[in-house]
Structure 1
Amino acid sequence: MKIRSRVVYLFIKNIPLLMIVAGAGSLFLSNIIAQKILDVKTFGLFSLHIFVFSILTISSALGIEQAIVRLLKIDEGKITVDKFLVYIILCIVMFSPLAFLLLINSFYGFDITFQLYLTIVFVVLSIVASSFFKVTGDLYSWALVINGWKYMVPLYVIMIFSLDKFVAFSVFIWSFLFLFLGVAIFLVRKFDLSFASEYKINYTLSIFLFGLISIVGFALYDFLDRIIISKKFSEVEFGRLYFQYTVVVSFSLIFMSFLSAKKTSAYKRQISKELVKKDLFHSFFLSILFCTMGLCLAFSLNLLSIVDSFYIGDYQTLYFLFFLGVVKSTYTIVSAGFNVVCSPRYLFISSIYSVFTAAICIVLFIVNVNNYGIHCVILAATILWLIRMVIIYSLTLRSIGLLEKC
């Protein structure tokens, strides 16, 4: 009886992780189905659609999640929100979708439609909601919000095969809208919110602006390699890289993102230099473990002929992606501490650095990608992430030192 109770307890405790794994498994299953039923060019288009949607889930809220993590006050389950922060959130919800519509239309040629606008609005709202859940430690709701859209991707794949791809994308968008609307109505009742002018307007605005610059830099870091490849290479080449990236890098990021969310709420309660150093050490070895598992999964898919050798047979690219995955996965834990304790000054330093180095790398990528190919892009991205992680880690320790002196 005790064993059964223990199993039930562990199952309930790890439901958020299981939801994340289910979301990732849904995307993985979608890739398996898609490469079986779609030709390589159509698979490339499918990959591009999912890739653009992934960009929206990271950057469309313009970094407001960093301001939420920094400025939200929690006392005995009650959440106090700064009034000026609410005004900023409302402005982002109204104007950010329009800006991103123009961007994806000019860059990838996606049609500007009302349902696509609504999709981006709800993506922004989901990022805001997930930030609240992360700070309060409600990982069940956090996992549901960030993974809801992933559960529908297999249906999208099937619709691409049976319908016109634009009709399929439209159905996928409307399905997402109705799903999120239902989830939002249910979850919004979980908040016990109050509003007050907790901070000076200049301070709140500075935190948001630095977060905005930071998320622009982060988005460039996170997506720059695949953006360059999607523009400089064919849809077929992009589709192959997307599949390999999903198996190796995304596999590790699934678990490390969950650990990062847990660390964010834990760091809000207690943080020290020793704890951050210990977590960095553990996250590094966990990242190696998860990326190795992803690599083994890729080899197994190829050896068992589950996936066409065109997508997995390039082992050299997989090895490059392995090192990229280790660095990016380790960074997720480092950034959790930084988001909690960073001062406006250090946030500004990291933001300027991110945009500046990303701009340099854009030039280097464009100049060298034709000579050295996709491997050059992946290697440069790995070095870029490694430098970013070192800078963020150093600034985190300095911020903690300042807090300890106060």
Structure 2
Amino acid sequence: MNRPAGRLLLLIGSEALSRGFAFLLTAVVARGMGLEVLANLALAQSVVSYATVLSDGGLNNHAIRMLLHGTSVARVVSLTLKTQALMAIITVALIVVLGPIIAPSAQEFIWALVLVPIATALSTPYVLQARHVTWPVAFSRILGAVVTTVIGLCLVWMAALPWTLGLAYSAGAIGMALWVCRSSSVTFADVRGPVKLSEAAALLRQSAPLALYGLLLQVVTSLPLLMTQALHESESFEAMGLASRLWFIVTAPAAMAGSILIPVFADKHSAKGTFRRYLLIAVLSGSACALVFALLAPWVVPLLFGADSAPYWPAVVFFISGSAPFYVATIFICRSIAEGTYWVPAVGFALGGCVFIAMSFMLPSSAGVGAGLSWLASQIVLCAVVVFLILLGKRK
């Protein structure tokens, strides 16, 4: 598949399959270990994701731009991988120390998940993305999901301690990283030698706006769980645990879009109308996801998560409705990154996060409805701000 649309469909298909496996594990955990265990697992993953985002530092997308502008693969891999590995070690250490303070109920899950950001830092998907080679990345996602799901199901079947579920996700991340590095033809010779701190610092400065965007994305994504836990709203915490898992599934195509669309939008020879075509697809896809889930949620939520989850379906509907503006915002964010205006998505997520926090205090918290409505409003603001800033920049 050499056409961008074909590569995107391949990635979306693999991501849908991998997230399907992950969701199978989610449903089994909810039924076998309880909604509180599921919510704590989701909270721990949100906290550990900060280490993943900070170690990435926007360097993956920056590496794609460097490769497309002619920098050698060996040079890009050496700089990027070493810098990301260094950042991963530092951020993982911080997460381990701060975990008991940030998320005391999930600290054991956090310790079991610490290998995820380290494995991710050692992966080199940017090499394949710059070459427009898609299938190894797609297969790696399926491989990681299968490894995680099989180990996780075994742990649930054996009635293991809940925190050991984190080890399943660490194993999946290691499997993904090994496969991607093998497919990228990255060898030890490409990365041997010490990290030059001056080069790492220079590289981080160049990608700092992207790093800020990634950090704000993670902050906003984890806000529903962090705030409901901090406010001691047990029902809302469980509702947001379910909603965040479903959001992970519903937004899979948008999560994959950047892998294909950033190189396409960065290519000066891409066909006219490409952006509008993908924008139309995003509008239709996001709206369809929100509408279908709104119609089916009263039956789907208790079917997947058990009878105890039935009161939470209204909150989940509001939460998932945010996928419509999020899909549209994703297309504009891909364009802004391709054009080098990294600050645009950072501003969008910052304002969206502020709206979520403000509305969370203003709206009632009954069964998570307030948090769900706050999330929907934050995604609308994100979309409006990103679209406005990009169109404003074009006018200038």
Task: Return the TM-score normalized by structure 2.
Answer: 0.77
How far is the alpha carbon of 1:49 from its aligned partner?
A: 4.1
Q: Which residue is 1:380 aligned to?
A: 374
> Which of 323, 331, 336 lines up with 1:338 in the alignment?
336
Distance 1:34 1:112 in 2: 14
Distance 2:233 2:156 in 1: 20
SS at match of 2:56: coil
Q: Deviations over 1:143-171 (max 9, x none)?
A: 34455443313532441452442562364
SS at match of 1:189: coil
Structure 1 residues 349, 259: closer, same or farther in 2, change over 3 A? closer
Q: Which residue is 1:125 aligned to?
A: 122
SS at match of 2:57: coil
Please say if 1:179 is aligned against 2:178: no
Q: Which residue is 1:3 aligned to?
A: none
Q: Deviations over 1:65-119 (max 9, x none)?
A: 3422443335699676297656643532332322333343321232599875443
Structure 1 residues 163, 225: closer, same or farther in 2, change over 3 A? same
What residue identity is the alignment partner of 2:137?
W
The unaligned stretches of length 5 or more in structure 2 are 192-198
Distance 2:110 2:31 in 1: 30
Distance 1:13 1:362 in 2: 31
What residue identity is the alignment partner of 1:95?
I
Structure 1 residues 259, 123: closer, same or farther in 2, change over 3 A? closer
Q: Which residue is 1:68 aligned to?
A: 63
Structure 1 residues 13, 33: closer, same or farther in 2, change over 3 A? same
How far is the alpha carbon of 1:172 from its aligned partner?
A: 2.1
Distance 2:390 2:272 in 1: 8
Structure 1 residues 360, 260: closer, same or farther in 2, change over 3 A? closer
**1:283-302 residue pairs with structure 2 within 5 A?**
283-296=282-295, 298-301=297-300
SS at match of 1:72: helix
What residue identity is the alignment partner of 1:106?
I
Q: Which residue is 1:253 aligned to?
A: 251
Structure 1 residues 359, 184: closer, same or farther in 2, change over 3 A? closer
Distance 2:340 2:8 in 1: 30
Task: Return the TM-score normalized by structure 1.
Answer: 0.75
> Which of 143, 149, 154 lines up with 1:153 in the alignment?
149
Structure 1 residues 376, 234: closer, same or farther in 2, change over 3 A? closer
How far is the alpha carbon of 1:335 from its aligned partner?
A: 1.4
How far is the alpha carbon of 1:16 from its aligned partner?
A: 3.2
> Which of 164, 169, 174 lines up with 2:165 in the alignment?
169
Structure 1 residues 310, 398: closer, same or farther in 2, change over 3 A? same
The unaligned stretches of length 5 or more in structure 1 are 1-5
SS at match of 1:156: helix
Distance 2:125 2:133 in 1: 9
What residue identity is the alignment partner of 2:291?
T
How far is the alpha carbon of 1:341 from its aligned partner?
A: 0.5
**Conserved? CA contact 1:73–1:81, under 8 Å:** no
How far is the alpha carbon of 1:184 from its aligned partner?
A: 4.6
**Conserved? CA contact 1:338–1:393, under 8 Å:** no
Q: Which residue is 2:241 aligned to?
A: 242
Q: Which residue is 2:89 aligned to?
A: 94
**1:225-374 residue pairs with structure 2 within 5 A?**
225-233=224-232, 237-247=236-246, 249-270=247-268, 275-296=274-295, 298-301=297-300, 305=303, 307-343=305-341, 347-348=342-343, 350-351=345-346, 354-355=349-350, 357=351, 360-361=354-355, 364=358, 367-368=361-362, 374=368
Q: Deviations over 1:250-283 (max 9, x none)?
A: 3331123334432223212246895434432331
Distance 1:362 1:289 in 2: 24
- The percent of aligned pairs where both chains have the same amino acid is 8
Structure 1 residues 281, 177: closer, same or farther in 2, change over 3 A? closer
What is the alpha-carbon root mean square deviation over aligned residues? 4.1
Distance 1:216 1:177 in 2: 20
Q: Which residue is 1:35 aligned to?
A: 30
Please say if 1:209 is aligned against 2:205: no
Structure 1 residues 203, 351: closer, same or farther in 2, change over 3 A? farther
How far is the alpha carbon of 1:386 from its aligned partner?
A: 2.2
How far is the alpha carbon of 1:62 from its aligned partner?
A: 2.9
**Conserved? CA contact 2:30–2:38, under 8 Å:** yes
* Most deviating of 81-90 and 22-31: 81-90
Distance 1:397 1:80 in 2: 35
